[in-house]
Amino acid sequence: MNNRQDVENVIIIGSGPAGHTAAIYTARAELNPLMFEGFMAWGVAAGGQLTTTTEVENFPGFPEPIQGPELMMRMRQQSQRYGTRIETKTVNKVDFSNFPYKVRAEGESEPRQAKAVIIATWATAKRLWIPGEKEFWQRWISACAVCDWGLPMFRNQPLVVVGWGDTAAEEASYLSKFGSKVYMLVRRDQMRASKAMQKRVMNNPKIEILRNTEAKEAIWDDTWLKGVKIVNNKTGEERVLEARGLFYAIGHKPNTDFLEWQVLLDESWYIITKPWTPFVYRWPALWNTEAKDDAILKWVFAAGDVQDKKYRQAITAAWSGAMAGIDAEHYLAGLED
């Protein structure tokens, strides 16, 4: 049966916790949503970042840890159960200049049309791509200390954090609760973290800050991370730090290229939403806090990591997906306020 409609009520782009929560809400509101879940979009399977991890211990409702891929499979089943239509395609173009909006998926010559679009396309962690990283990524090398800090393999072990901003300082603090020692590798002679965060890590006896220092190689002993080869970029001196975990906190790249500047992005390419709402602004519009309500791009919403540079958790992605689903329903029902 061909389920296609001439104009879809809602198209959801992205299939992580944000996309699926938006799908569950809009499907239960009988909007018959269409989701493009992506086909290995930016190298990650449909279902998003949690498909790349093992145990998730902090998503409510699961007193025992649940495997990331299983959690995402359950969300997908829940979306479908209430009527979400899912296509395994990656969206590579949108056109918000005229209503109804247009959304084109890879391999399709004609765009689909929609009255409302929910963008939930995540942000990808930046990596260093040093030798040894590829083989052990997501095992002893992680870009999410908040997610992995409590795992038994990191307890009472020396750990290394790479980064110089607030996130790195926060991750080093988290890790110091369980790790025996935490090294922070700071590329420059100064950190970029706020003064308060710098003070916090400098006063922590378990954290040692190594300035002008970069990670060069992850070193393995059969299946374990044994150490991290580091280099002082001023003197060229190299040495190996004993370590059982390596954590990157060097930023994320939101997947917003396909939007081609039709919605307002910040200086790091995250979508700017009106605070505490999923509403996005037309591009060009005034930056950030000055953005005005009359610049809101109606019927386009953003949810999840693509608009959240701070929390980046499954539950916060689901939270914003719920808001996007509810607001899409309100707008489509003509209840604009």
Ligand X SMILES: Cc1cc2nc3c(=O)[nH]c(=O)nc-3n(C[C@H](O)[C@H](O)[C@H](O)COP(=O)(O)OP(=O)(O)OC[C@H]3O[C@@H](n4cnc5c(N)ncnc54)[C@H](O)[C@@H]3O)c2cc1C
Choosing from 6, 95, 148, 166, the catalytic residue is: 148
Interacting residues with ligand X (CB under 6 A): 13-19, 36-38, 41, 44, 46, 48-50, 52-53, 56, 58-59, 90-91, 120-122, 125, 138, 143-144, 147, 255, 258, 304-306, 312-315, 317
Q: How far is the CB of 233 from ligand X (least distance, A)?
A: 28
Cβ-contact 273, 296 below 8 angstroms: no
Residue 244's CB is within 10 A of a number of other CB atoms, namely 19
How far apart, in whole angstroms, are the C-alpha atoms of residue 121 and residue 119? Answer: 6
Catalytic residue among 6, 95, 144, 294: 144
Q: Which CA distances in Å does 324 have to 34, 273, 288?
A: 14, 11, 20
Does the annotation count 6 as an active-site position?
A: no
In the complex, the smallest distance separating the C-beta of residue 92 from ligand X, rounded to whole angstroms, is 7
Query: Which residue lies nearer to ligand X by CB, 181 or 312?
Result: 312
Residue 177 in contact with residue 91, Cβ under 8 Å?
no
Closest contact distance (angstroms) between CB of 121 and ligand X is 4
Closer residue to ligand X (CB): 141 or 291: 141
CA distance 237 to 260: 44
Q: How do 101-105 and 91-95 pair as beta strands? A: antiparallel
Q: Which residues contact 12 (CB under 8 A, 6 or more apart)?
A: 19, 22, 23, 26, 33, 34, 35, 36, 84, 117, 118, 120
Among residues 315, 16, 17, 308, which one has the least CA distance to residue 167?
Answer: 308
Least distance from ligand X to the Cβ atom of residue 234, Å: 32
Residue 22, token pair as written in the block: 């938006």
Nearest CB to ligand X, comparing residues 127 and 211? 127
| Residue 147 bears catalytic tag | yes
144 catalytic per annotation:
yes
Taking the complex as a whole, the smallest distance from the CB of residue 88 to ligand X amounts, in Å, to: 9
Return the number of the residue (84 or 121) whose C-beta is nearest ligand X. Answer: 121
For 318, the enclosing helix (H) or strand (E) is helix 314-332
User: Which residue numbers are catalytic?
Assistant: 144, 147-148
